[in-house]
Amino acid sequence: MPTGQAGDWTYWIIVIVALGAFLVLPQFMARRRQKRREQDLRVGDTVMTIGGFLGRLTSLDLDANVARIELAEGVEVRIVPGAISGKRQEPTATVSVDDGAGSDT
């Protein structure tokens, strides 16, 4: 076997391994993070959807792949748990904005 052919095989093996590292591995890791996020959800959590809606999780059935979120009083929507981007903390304090009325000018 000439030396050039062995180098060709080595090149293709490196290319295949690189494709696996740059294409397949990130998708696998993202899927694993999403599954972990779904398993950490509890009814009553304040969540944000991938569409930007904020609401309180009222029902979660991972086996049926259905969740219910209360967006406002009396307004609930059904979504798939994969559409929940994550938990959100309730704001604990309000910030007042100074309108500049008390400045010395």
Q: Are 80 and 67 in contact (CB under 8 A)?
A: yes
The ranges assigned to domains in the chain are: 1-40, 42-89
Rounded Cα distance between 52 and 15, Å, is 39
Give residue 1's pLDDT.
47
Q: Which residue has the higher pLDDT, 98 or 1?
A: 98
In this predicted structure, the answer to whether residue 79 has a pLDDT above a threshold of 90 is yes
* Average model confidence (pLDDT) across the chain: 83
User: For the structural domain made of 42-89, what CATH number should be given?
Assistant: 2.30.30.60
- Please return the burial class of 58, using the count of CB atoms within 10 Å of its CB with bins 0-12, 13-18 and 19+: middle
